[in-house]
Chains A and B, each alone.
Chain A
Amino acid sequence: MRLTLVAVVLLVLAGCGSGPAPAGGKRAATESEISELTWAMPGAPRSLDIAHAMDSRSNLAIYAAFDGLLELDGSGELKPKLATEWNSPDPLTYVYTLRQGVKYWDGSTMTAEDVAYSLQRQIDPEQASETATFMNAVKEISVTGPAQVTVKLSVPDPAFKYVAALNWIVQPKAYQEAAGKDLGGPDKPGMGAGPFKVEKFSPADGVVFQRFEDYWGTKPKVAKLNYKPIPDPEALRLAMIAGEVDGTFIVPLQDARKWERTSGVNMYTTDSIGINYLSMDVNTAPFNDIHVRKALAHSVDRKGLLEPLFGGRGRISASPVATLQLSSYLGKEEAEKLTGSLPTYEFDMAKAKEELAKSAHPGGFSVEVPYPTTQNWTRLTLENMSRNLSTIGITLTPKAMTDQQWVAQLYAAKDLKLQIMRAGGGTPYPGEMLPLMFGKKSIGPNGLNTAGFTTPEVEAKLAAIAEDKGAIGDIMRINAEQLPYIPLFEEQLMHAVRSEAVFSPEPTPWLAGANWVGWLKATA
């Protein structure tokens, strides 16, 4: 009995010892075929219909197989895909010239009607499309030539141009109409013009894709792609060590160091556009006091938390706008200059104490902060703050909630006080989250202005955001001075690929809308 136990323990240790990290990094890419590749994600796609699958695991499966009108390159610029050209003669009009002779998987040819219908369907209230939130400004979609589609907006929307890359997946009108409610499900998974055909789709067991040999663009090297769900992160890592899975996107950053040490697996890191921040309701005590807000800003040990929370794969954030978005808008240098000029609040409990003494609550106060249990970083950050704040008389109590409960209390917008959250848009446009976080209209139930912060100046800047390039910087400065939101971190994204394959080119932060399987090459 005892002997067997010892033997098992020894075996386990043998299994865990994955040896030193591979020296010299990734192997070189070749042009040879990959007959079969297995990609794992924490869950199977909900649906393959872009209108009803607004989550990353569904999206990435859709982008692997289906083509949209445009795509994003590594620097966030739009590139042609099913549209060869596009222009915007005025801020309310977008004209797309379509590629000719594009074949769907069934051999039929793409028409301008298909293209127009594919977007039209997503703004139809009957469809209750989840993507409609990106298309609020769309007034009319029309076919204006045999190879031309024009979209008219009711108000200028600088983020609309990205819809063509992220949401405008093209499928035949007849197929979409015939499929009805079943579109995107196992029986009618879709009919695209992209590099992979859907051979089999199950929301339980994932997707099997076969390469589409008549694809109009560069054909991927991978002939067959299995897109599999593995919910447990450690089981996924074991499956990669065993060689049953070839790669995965977005591994949990708290396990970053463990993944790095896993031999036979290469890691890729990119920036992301998510911001982790604290929100304080500026209309109720004690957070209506700017000194209280500053005291809190001084009490988060951002630098110390980067390693335990994200394995060092992140950076300290100085504004509610992601660095990545700001750089793609203003250029890297200009963006750095702007961010560098903002007031910052370093971790310093003496300064926190000083600020608190100047406030209306010099003796401190108590506050309960809800956090979603699935996001470990929120709990650890709050525990860290709680300990720091206890030294100056503030009692911060983290309160665990299920995702459902947490989202419900956030959107109910009652008694928000102090909240810890992450927000991120989906496009390279840095202004996309600002109207939601600072707009007067976004205060209250279902709004994201959880700080309830609004001033005439901010409203004016938001109104001018489409025309005035400086408006974004001004709002960033107002936030840094008034502190309705305390920016904390920008997390990176980490992807893993077994060393039999490499990403060539390397993955960009703009996975959305990209035919990412085309980047995977066999190694020598």
Chain B
Amino acid sequence: MYILAFLGKRLFAAAVTLLVTSFVVFSLLAASPGSPEQTLLGSRPPTPELIAAIRARYHLDDPFLSRFWQWLGDVVQMDFGRSVRSGQPVTDMLSERLDVTLALGVYAFLLVLVIAVPAGLSAGIRRGSVLDRGVTLTALVGVSAPPFAVGLLLLTVFGVGLGWFPVFGAGEGFAGRVEHLTLPAVTMAVAGVAIVARQTRAAALDVATKDFVTFAEARGLPRSVVLGRYALRNSALPVITSAGLVLAMSLTGAVLVESTFALPGLGSLLVESVSTKDIPVVQGLALLTAALMIGVNLVVDLCYLGLDPRVRHSGGA
């Protein structure tokens, strides 16, 4: 029952967030300089008739609020309009690219979890050891390395030099996808691993000094049980928060990685669409991104509830 009320509240908040986001994005784009017909025609000089024709086709001359209202009305009926740039329905463009972005985001996220959590945990438990210093240093390098530079480095070494991985594109089929997305996922995971490993280490440091860990060790429990059952679970909250952030980031912020590896994902679409003032596409992307963010946050909060009885009993996050 409590969970249902919690979900209901969250869904309502999500709807309000989406509405506000779309309105803000719409206003910002409307206020920014330039107009779509100028980008469509490039430096070629348009005739007044042609400008009028293009503006009429995309309803660019209607007042701002009526354009937003019209757009909103269509969205409620699941019609996101057509791209000014390519004339394609926005939903088609998004669904084609969402596929690549989701695969990449989830792949990178799995890499982060598999590498960062064990590394951070062991570093935190063995504070000051060589392993700890190694993890801290690597995390520092990872968090400072710009993704496009890491991407080009990996491309040069593993794509061109060793020829182990394909250099561009997203691949077909499951095996093709995994093969094509490995280098980009590693590139994206570098920063994520650094963040999550540091968080995990900090949380584990905190937990390692707790009495229950000392007691568990004193009872002579094996290391794996101490780490897995006591330290991991008790340091889980900050770790899940940062992991949630990293997942949201990898789903929405892969612009540079997508560009370096020529992946047709949402990030590159966003850049193209913003720079050409393709309002319907940007709006669709903003809604989708906001929805992904909200979804990830919701899952993180549900994890809190599941993992930590204290949160459950104090009446929610």
Option from B40, B86, B167 in Cβ contact (under 8 Å) with A244 = B167
Partner-contacting stretch, out of B65-73, B89-97, B194-202, B241-249: B89-97
Partner-contacting stretch, out of A127-135, A296-304, A503-511: A127-135
Residues 214-257 of B contacting A (Cβ, < 8 Å): none
Q: Contacts A202-B264, A231-B268, A408-B35 given: A16-B156 contact, CB under 8 Å?
A: yes
CB distance from A212 to the nearest CB of B (A): 24
On whether the beta carbons of A181 and B87 are closer than 8 Å, the reply is yes
Q: Kindly state whether residue A447 has any CB partner on chain B within 8 Å.
A: yes
On whether the beta carbons of A228 and B168 are closer than 8 Å, the reply is yes
* Whole-angstrom CA separation of A133 from B97 in the bound complex: 33
On whether the beta carbons of A402 and B275 are closer than 8 Å, the reply is yes
CB distance from A421 to the nearest CB of B (A): 7
Option from A16, A231, A242, A448 in Cβ contact (under 8 Å) with B163 = A242
On whether the beta carbons of B167 and A204 are closer than 8 Å, the reply is no
On whether the beta carbons of A421 and B43 are closer than 8 Å, the reply is yes
Q: Kindly state whether residue B38 has any CB partner on chain A within 8 Å.
A: yes
Most buried by A among B138, B156, B277: B156
Q: Which residues of A contact B272 (CB under 8 A)?
A: 43
Q: Contacts A54-B40, A125-B53, A203-B93 given: A404-B277 contact, CB under 8 Å?
A: yes
Q: Contacts A15-B156, A203-B88, A245-B168 given: A235-B43 contact, CB under 8 Å?
A: no
CB distance from A206 to the nearest CB of B (A): 8
Option from A1, A49, A230 in Cβ contact (under 8 Å) with B168 = A230
Option from A8, A12, A46, A54 in Cβ contact (under 8 Å) with B41 = A54
Option from B56, B152, B275, B276 in Cβ contact (under 8 Å) with A128 = B56
CB distance from A423 to the nearest CB of B (A): 6
Residues 444-475 of A contacting B (Cβ, < 8 Å): 446-448
Q: Kindly state whether residue B311 has any CB partner on chain A within 8 Å.
A: no
Q: Kindly state whether residue B173 has any CB partner on chain A within 8 Å.
A: no
* Whole-angstrom CA separation of A408 from B277 in the bound complex: 12
CB distance from A320 to the nearest CB of B (A): 14
Look across to chain B and name the residue whose beta carbon is closest to the beta carbon of A435: B45
On whether the beta carbons of B34 and A408 are closer than 8 Å, the reply is yes
Q: Which residues of B contact A403 (CB under 8 A)?
A: 39, 275
On whether the beta carbons of B264 and A205 are closer than 8 Å, the reply is yes
Option from B38, B44, B87, B93 in Cβ contact (under 8 Å) with A408 = B38
Q: Which residues of B contact A127 (CB under 8 A)?
A: 53
* Whole-angstrom CA separation of A205 from B134 in the bound complex: 41
On whether the beta carbons of A185 and B41 are closer than 8 Å, the reply is no
CB distance from B86 to the nearest CB of A (A): 5
Q: Contacts A229-B264, A242-B160 given: A132-B39 contact, CB under 8 Å?
A: no
Q: Per-position contact with A for B125-168: 1 when CB-CB < 8 Å, else 0? A: 00000000010011000000000100111011101111100111
* Whole-angstrom CA separation of A241 from B163 in the bound complex: 11
CB distance from B67 to the nearest CB of A (A): 17
On whether the beta carbons of A12 and B157 are closer than 8 Å, the reply is yes
Q: Kindly state whether residue B57 has any CB partner on chain A within 8 Å.
A: yes
Option from A15, A181, A185, A405 in Cβ contact (under 8 Å) with B161 = A15
Q: Contacts A8-B157, A231-B268 given: A54-B42 contact, CB under 8 Å?
A: yes
Look across to chain A and name the residue whose beta carbon is closest to the beta carbon of B137: A1
Q: Which residues of A contact B51 (CB under 8 A)?
A: 446
* Whole-angstrom CA separation of A14 from B156 in the bound complex: 9
* Whole-angstrom CA separation of A238 from B168 in the bound complex: 9
On whether the beta carbons of B34 and A405 are closer than 8 Å, the reply is yes
On whether the beta carbons of A44 and B46 are closer than 8 Å, the reply is no
* Whole-angstrom CA separation of A65 from B162 in the bound complex: 36
* Whole-angstrom CA separation of A132 from B45 in the bound complex: 11
What are 23 A-B pairs at a CB distance below 8 A?
A11-B161, A12-B153, A12-B156, A12-B157, A15-B160, A15-B161, A52-B86, A133-B44, A133-B45, A133-B50, A184-B87, A186-B92, A204-B96, A235-B152, A235-B167, A235-B259, A238-B160, A242-B163, A244-B166, A404-B33, A407-B34, A407-B38, A422-B43
Name A's B-contacting residues (CB within 8 A): 1, 8, 11-12, 14-16, 40, 43-44, 46-47, 49, 52, 54-55, 125-130, 132-133, 136, 181-182, 184-186, 202-205, 228-232, 234-236, 238-239, 241-242, 244-245, 402-405, 407-409, 411, 421-424, 436, 442, 446-448
Given contacts A203-B86, A244-B166, 16 further A-B contacts (CB under 8 A): A1-B137, A46-B86, A52-B87, A54-B40, A54-B42, A55-B42, A128-B54, A186-B88, A205-B169, A235-B167, A242-B159, A242-B160, A244-B168, A408-B35, A411-B38, A423-B43
